[in-house]
Amino acid sequence: MPELPEVEGVVRALAPVAIGRTILKVIISDVVIESKAQGKEAVIKGMTTDQFIKNMVDMKITDLTRRSKYIYIALQREGIEYLLVSHLGMSGAWFTVNSIDEIVELKFRRHIHVIFEMTDGGLLVYSDIRRFGELRLINREADHPPLLKMAPEPFDDQACGYFLDFALKPKYAKRAIKDVIMDGHVISGCGNIYATEALYRMKIHPGRKAERISLKRKKELFNVIVEVLQESIDAGGSTISDYRNINGEAGTMQNRLEMYGRKNCPACNNETKSMKIAGRTSVYCPRCQR
């Protein structure tokens, strides 16, 4: 599942080629149309496919940014502003091409769900193999309240204090630290991969209760999370399963992960263990992490 660095990779690649262009036509896959007709919220959220198409036509892309694991695509038509919020789910991917044939990886080409035909003839394509991604068109962020409940960006000055406050709340203090740092209300954009790495670097057992970690260690842990996220952004993200930034390009952070997906600990060579925390597989070294 793409985490913050992967979404940042998409935004950095997509923004320069998408901003300033205008949508001429929108084509939605039969799979999504049929699924939506049955009342399911497949990919397009909060409106029918017809409404979505009607709303998107003639929109100009004025900005494209990241907020946590969401891509915010600012749009404008006749002076009115809109926001298309894109979440990549498990396997969402964006492509900017002149024809569909340019999408060489078949698994992406076979699962194209939305094509935005631009006025300049180019295509902005959204592919999603597992269809857990979301495209939600709203007027402003406040129209979708869950977006306002996200923790600050981890790189913002107030983010560490925000995390420390939350970790002390009764609701969080008794939970496993890994569960707490992966909660988007507490820290923005730290998913399974980077939580696993940060806890390994800090030699903290993922199942340790938040209240059993000192304030000083929690601060250090926060700084290590930011460090790991930044390292991954610099490496173009981790290419794990179906993540690509845009146009099928891949990052290299997966080569630098020391614990995620490892069978042996690189420090002591002991076999790693795994446990389920908040429904996610958590890998750790039973010797190094306490």
Tokens of 110: 């076979």
What distances in angstroms separate CA 276 from CA 60, 143, 174, 233, 268, one per listed residue? 45, 35, 16, 27, 23
For the CB of residue 168, give the shortest distance to Zn ion in the complex, in Å.
29
152 is catalytic: no
- The structure tokens 């038509």 sit at 77
- Name the residue nearer to Zn ion (CB basis): 17 or 288: 288
Interface with Zn ion includes 285 (CB under 5 A)? yes
Among 100, 168, 267, 278, which residue interacts with Zn ion (rule: CB under 5 A)?
Answer: 267
Residue 37's Cβ-count burial label (10 Å; 0-12, 13-18, 19+) is exposed
Interface with Zn ion includes 265 (CB under 5 A)? yes
Count other C-beta atoms under 10 Å from residue 123's C-beta.
19
Cα separation of 222 and 227, whole Å? 9
Of 45, 60, 280, 287, catalytic = 280
Tokens of 215: 């304030």
For the CB of residue 156, give the shortest distance to Zn ion in the complex, in Å.
33
Q: Which stretch binds Zn ion (CB under 5 A): 43-51, 130-138, 206-214, 282-290?
A: 282-290
36 is catalytic: no
Binding map of Zn ion across residues 14-43, x = CB under 5 A, - = no contact: ------------------------------
Q: Which stretch binds Zn ion (CB under 5 A): 8-16, 168-176, 186-194, 258-266?
A: 258-266
Interface with Zn ion includes 268 (CB under 5 A)? yes
Of 36, 66, 69, 244, catalytic = 69
176 three-state secondary structure: strand
Cα separation of 93 and 107, whole Å? 11
Binding site for Zn ion (CB under 5 A): 265, 267-268, 270, 285, 287-288
